[in-house]
Amino acid sequence: MSGNVSLRALIVDDEAPARSRLRDLLADCAETHPVEVVGEAGNGAEALAILNDTPANLVLLDIRMPEMDGIELAQHLQKLPAPPAVIFTTAYDAYAIKAFELHAVDYLLKPIRGARLLEALSRLPPLKAPSADALNHLASGPRRHLSVQERGKLQLIPIGDVIYLKAELKYVTLRTREREYLVDESLTRLEEEFGTLFVRIHRNCLVARQHVAGFERETGESGEGGWLALLRGVPERLPVSRRQQHVLREFGR
Amino acid sequence: MASSINQNFPTHALPSFRNLGVVLRILLIVNGASLLLAVVRTPTWEAVPDDFMVQAVLVQPVLLLALVVLYGLSPALGRLPYPSGVASVFAVAAASGALVHLLAGGVGGIGASPDLVRFLVVSVAMTAVLLGYFDLRGRALSPALTEARLQALQARIRPHFLFNSINAVLSLIRSDPKRAEAALEDMAELFRVAMSDSRKLSPLAREVELCRQYLELEALRLGERLRVEWHTEKMPAEALVPPMILQPLVENAVYHGIEPGSAPGTVTINIYKYRDEVHLAIKNPFHEGGREQAGNKIALANIRERLSLHFDAEARLDTHVSGGAYQVRITLPYLTEAGA
């Protein structure tokens, strides 16, 4: 029994027939496990847009989707004020299935069986979001977006738009061409995940390789100046620490 | 049949020297040759056993030494390309011969022993006869193996596609039973071909029909996202091609070119005959840094292997990326039922 928590679900799948199949099956379960479907989304960004306005406590989430896969979306969903529970759906992936079992993450195999969905629903309370650790293990590569929370809403920033990441006090500042955001993740963790796209030029700073325009000598009043990194699209010049000067060689200096 | 005349099944391979049958055959053949030689060399029947024994003093040590060494090297030899493997076996035989000759000479027990060069010539010639025999025998047995291999290579429709399609058909059963029926029919046809006799070549028109059915199924799932352009005006419909040669490539195009994008993408299929060759070209949008490039390589390697099993060096498969598009092109000899 679903207890006294009423289930509000979002269906996320890039294939329309798969979404309608889930809707049908949820309707079949309605007698014992009423679920209100708050919406359907064809990709991760759409799903977030819906969730920002219409809270749901359960997301039925396809894994293989364009632009952003289901695992990444689940990683971002955790930053919502009240992260929803997630049931993944997948057609076939022996590796993923093993990982799900290992980390006790709920999943449904496509073609989805009504009985199996019912079973998953009846296990649902407590409505618990999957753990960050489990999701990190399930991810098959770095995320393609970073997510930031602003005024209670979650916003996605494609990783290609990030020019630099700079650690300041408690937060990491993320700079895109347009503006700055505050990211609630550690610089070390970000470097681990995106090490191939970013290069550390300072203890507190990662810059996107593709946005590095060049380097120049700092002409400071103190005479012998250090190097500054010039970046495409933003006026800031970021100091390269003495310890990280070897990165200049990487860029042909 | 066109299929059996025009296909090559090159399967040169060294025998396994750890196989009891192989070892017994070698012992029998070498000793048989030695016995025949004794018959030729001696004036009377009574002298044959003596002569055989005299030869045995040299022949058996060489034979046993070579067999022991080959037994040890067998797994390594199996991994070598066939010509290098053959060269290695010759080297082992010659080295065993030289070593035994040296030791026997040192002991000085055999007065009538031949000089080193002639001794080595005989060792190597005997090895050549044995390898030739094993090669012929291997090829006589191989069609069955080849067939099994073709079958295994062919039956590889992505499980991802199968399960997603069934899921899509299930969703239609309530809302659009007619369409669900048609989809199941397409699916049955696809799998009938995927599981059919893979040694028979089939007409190109049939392959194209199959691809259309396959794409119908994909359109069910992907809807607007999948656009297909066919260029088959100059297609030689009667040309014979290996079954399921086109569908896996189109499946790849959908899997790697259409599914990773949320915007609509186009798969272009271009089939034509030029000179005496049939060209099949499939183009799809290229997505950089896909998470599953390895799967594509396996599918292509599979088709390459099937092409070479059917046509040897006469067929080619090449791929290239340009202007945001990925293209696979198969070129194969133009064959027809009548022309074979």
Please name each of the domains of chain B with its CATH number. Answer: 2-153 (no CATH), 155-333 (3.30.565.10)
Pairwise CA distance, residues A160 & A186, whole Å: 19
Nearest residue on chain B to A142, alpha-carbon basis:
B291
Residue A70, both tokens: 């289901």
- pTM of the predicted protein model: 0.66
Number of structural domains chain A divides into: 2
The pLDDT tens digits for A114-151 are: 999 998 888 876 777 777 777 877 787 888 899 998 88
**A91 to B261: CB separation less than 8 angstroms, yes or no:** no
**Do A116 and A81 share a domain, yes or no?**
yes
Give ∠ CA A215-A216-A220 in degrees, rounded to 5. 140
What's the ipTM?
0.71
Q: Is residue A75 one of the residues assigned to a domain?
A: yes
A177 and A124 together in one domain: no
Q: With 70 as the cut, is the pLDDT of residue A2 above it?
A: no
Q: Could you tell me if A48 and A128 lie in one domain?
A: yes
Q: When comparing pLDDT for B159 and B315, which is higher?
A: B315
Does any domain span residue A151?
no
Look at A64 and B166 and tell me if their CB atoms are within 8 Å: no
Q: Are B130 and B183 within 8 A, CB to CB?
A: no
pLDDT tens across A60-102, in order? 999 888 888 888 999 898 888 888 989 999 886 666 777 777 7
Q: Check residue A104 and give left, alpha or beta (phi > 0: left; psi -120 to 50: alpha).
A: left
Instruction: Report if residue A145 sits inside a domain.
Output: no
Residues constituting chain A = 253
Let me know whether A217 and A174 are in one domain. Answer: yes
A141 vs B: CB within 8 A: yes
Residue A72 C-alpha, separation from nearest chain B C-alpha, in angstroms? 13
Torsion angle, alpha carbons of A11, A15, A18, A20, to 10: 70
> Is there a domain that residue A154 lies in?
no
Are A33 and A129 members of one domain? yes
Which of B170, B262, B291 is opposite residue A21, by nearest beta carbon? B170
Cα–Cα dist B305/B105, whole Å:
52
A94 and A204 together in one domain: no
Residue A132 lies in a domain: yes
> B159 and A69: CB-CB below 8 Å?
no
**Both tokens of residue A126?**
């407590």
Q: Which two tokens stand for residue B42?
A: 């001696």
CATH assignment of the domain containing A11:
3.40.50.2300
Out of B158, B171, B175, name the one closest to residue A18 (CB). B171
CA of B328 to nearest chain A CA: how many angstroms apart?
A: 22
**pLDDT in the model for residue B19:** 77
Q: Residue A231's beta-bridge partner residues?
A: A212
Residue B99 · residue B133 · CB < 8 Å? no
pLDDT score for A95: 62
pLDDT of residue B114: 67
Is residue A38 within 8 A of residue A8, CB to CB? The reply is yes
> Which residue in chain B is spatially nearest to A65 when comparing CA positions?
B260
Domain containing residue A166: 162-250
User: How many Cβ atoms from other residues are within 10 Å of residue A103's Cβ?
Assistant: 15
A214 and A117 together in one domain: no
Query: CB distance B223–A16 less than 8 Å?
Result: yes
Q: Specify the length of chain B in residues.
A: 340
A66 token code pair? 């364009």
Segment A189-247, tens digit of pLDDT: 889 888 889 999 988 999 998 998 888 887 766 656 788 888 888 898 888 888 888 88
The model's pLDDT over B52-94, given as tens digits with 9 standing for 90+, comes to 888 888 888 888 999 999 888 888 887 888 888 889 988 998 8
Residues A84 and A170 in one domain: no
